[in-house]
Each structure stands twice: as C-alpha cells, then as structure tokens.
Structure 1
Amino acid sequence: MTAQDVLQSPHRYRLRVADYLALAKSGAFEGMQTELIAGDVIVMSPEFRPHWYAKSELGYQLRKSLELSGSRLFSGDEGSVALSDNDMPRPDIIVTDEPRGDGPIPLASVRLLVEVSSSTSATDKGLKAELYAGHEIPEYWVADVDDRTIHQMWSPIDGSYAEQREIAFGDAITAATIAGLTVATATL
C-alpha cells in the first residue's frame, strides 16, 4: 500500500507530539500560539486584557502563595505540557516541581493546571477537564472571567474529576491537593 492509496479518501490525520514539534521547529506555526489536543493543532485566540489581566494576577498570587508557604513548587505561565503521544496542551498557568530542563514540562511533575477563559469556557470545563483528568492531573482550575468564578476540580477518576467546587472572584481559593496554597482573588 502506498501513501497515495491511504490519502485518497477523506481522513483525519492525528499528529503525534514528535510531528507537532517538527512542524513547529520548521516554522509552520510562526506567529501563532498553538497547542496539540488529541492530535489536532489548535490555534489559540488572541489574548485581550480581561483574560491577560486575570491570568497575570492569578499567576502572581499563586507564585506569591507558594513562596510564602516555603513550597519548592514553581508557578509559571504558558508552558507546553507533555501529556501523551498526541496531547501537548499549553495551559495558562502550570504549577510544577520540575520547571527547568529541555522540552515540554513532564506530566509527572505537574501539580496544578489553570486555564483562564472567556470565549473558551465550555472547552476548558469540558474537553480540557476530561483531558487533564484522563491524564491524572491532580488538580485543575478554570478561571472564567465572564462569570467571575473559578471552577476548582480535583480527584481525577476514570477521565473526570470526582470533586469540584466554585469560588467567586473576590473569595480566597485553597488548593485541595497542595498543602499551604491559598490564593486571594480579590483583585481579579
């Protein structure tokens, strides 16, 4: 069988992380913010002030709380996380115990992921929650700037989070899986 035989009928071709990285290195995505979800390259929307401000402030508050608690965890923004052969998302905020090194952030090092959303709220609370729970990310937050709520999820079991709660912007949020991590959200 030749490649021509395979390519004749319409198919969806899922990229592997290795393919995605090769394309990125060749400049295929130059000038675009992208991530790989289930083998599909997702081009991310431009970031406007409400999203940017919430992401920046929440990231700052997370980092400050980790430092004050004496934690060795690191909070950074927009790193690529290697989840599987076909998934390398780029969450808005990542809390990891392995911030240094080459390549994407290793799955085993991730303690908390945060997506800040406005236009992507349904995807972040649906597809991405399933993706992160399916890869056993211990805790996941969706900071929805439109409804001014943080959707906190933890205890991943069989592709979903068994525990969830909502925290209004303005109230403090305490991590369920990271001791001593409490974040003020009054400024969001």
Structure 2
Amino acid sequence: MVAVFPQKHLTDIAEWHRMGEAGIFPPESRLELIEGEILTMSPIGFNHAGHVDRLNRIFAHLWNQGVTVRVQGPVQLGDLSEPEPDLVLVKPDTDDYTTRHPNAADVLLLIEVSDSTLRFDRTQKLRLYATHGISEYWIVNLIDQCLEVYRQPQDGDYLNQSVLTTADSIDLVALPALRVSVAAILQTDRRKPL
C-alpha cells in the first residue's frame, strides 16, 4: 500500500478574488492570503485599533501632499499574497486604486501594529515584505512599547534593522522631510503628533 500524505492546497490571487466575489467567506471574516495560504487573522482589540487610528491621524496630512494613506487595505505581492497591513503609505494612483490594489512598487511605508501577532509579523510577514522589496517596514510593538524599523530589503530579510524608543524620532526613507516622533505613535507624548 502506498502512503498518502495530506497535501496543502495553495491558491493564487485570481482564485482568491473569485472566492471573495462568490461570497464564500462570511463578511466578518478576517482573512489574508499569505504565500498561497488563506490565514485567519486575530480579532482586532481595543489597543490595536486605537494605535491604527493614531497612525492614521499622524499621517493623514500626507493626502494633501499626494501620498495615499490606506488603513487595513490589501496590498498585492506577487501572485500568491495579498496581506492587509494596518497602515500603508502608497504613491498616488490616477484612479485612487479603484481598479487594482497597490503592489510593492507603490508602497512608500508599510506598518503592522503588533501585540498578539508580533512573532508572525517579525518572521513570516517580514520575510514576505522583504522578498517583495518593500523598502521600509515598521512594526509598532505594543508588547515592548517600541518601534521596530526594517530597511534595505535583500534576499528575504532587511539589512538595516533598528529598535526605537519613545525618546526617538524617525525620518522616512521615501519622505525624508517628514519626521515622526515615536512617542506620538505610542502616545506617551500628549503633544501634537508631528
């Protein structure tokens, strides 16, 4: 008798979109397509949601400068992945991304807010973003109250990795004139966010 092992069925972006259009997943589902696998994501807690709202408020003024701010919207990475990062700054699009999702070339900054997902965001998501050339990836680490910054993607990792505390500020690679206070992100500084 020949041994039969369970096999994983991987899906691609086209099949993923067809399943969504067919209503296969309940509307309240929190799902992401990561490297061909459909993953159920953790429910969003109060602290997580509040930090995403804070990030949105910090970066909202960039709309006036032609930068699109997307909150928990899909980003297409190749044919097998469509994560929904907590916040992404993307280049402007003539139709405001109504005919496609942004891809890696559109991304200026990608941010994940992490509490229960910290390990996943530091490993699988980091590898995914680096592999697809996301130039700057931040993890707002709610467990250790710090900002993890990843830059210079190469071979599925980031050559430049740093951890910033509430005493620090950071300039974005794609928007060097913009300086962001880590204290404003983590809300230890009640002053104006920028």
**TM-score normalised by length of structure 2:** 0.85
How many percent identity over aligned positions?
29
Which residue of structure 2 lines up, in the alignment, with residue 88 of structure 1?
82
Amino acid at match of 1:53: G
Trace 1:30-179 onto structure 2 (pairs within 5 A). Answer: 30=26, 31-64=28-61, 66=62, 71-98=65-92, 100=96, 101-169=98-166, 171-179=168-176
AA at the equivalent of 1:151? E
Is 1:16 paired with 2:4?
no
Q: How many equivalent residue pairs?
A: 178
Q: Which residue of 2 aligns with 1:27?
A: 23
> Secondary structure at the residue paired with 2:49?
helix
Deviates more, 1:178-187 or 1:104-113: 178-187
8 Å CA contact retained: 1:134, 1:159 = yes
- What is the one-letter code of the residue matched to 2:52? K
Rounded Cα–Cα distance in structure 1 between residues aligned with 2:174 and 2:151: 7
Q: Structure 1 segments of 4 or more deviating over 3 A?
A: none
* Residues 67, 91 of structure 2: 8 Å contact kept: yes
CA contact 2:136–2:150 (8 Å) conserved in 1: yes
1:142–1:105 distance in 2 versus 1, CA, 3 Å: same
Alpha-carbon distance in structure 2 between the residues aligned to 1:169 and 1:24: 40
Which ranges in structure 2 are unaligned for 5 or more consecutive residues? 187-194
* 8 Å contact kept, 1:154–1:177: no
Bigger relative CO (Cα 8 Å, ≥ 6 apart): 1
The letter of the residue matching 1:76 is: R
Q: Which runs of no fewer than 5 residues in structure 1 stay unpaired?
A: 1-7
Note the C-alpha offset of 1:72.
2.0
Q: Is the 8 A contact 2:147 2:182 kept in 1?
A: no
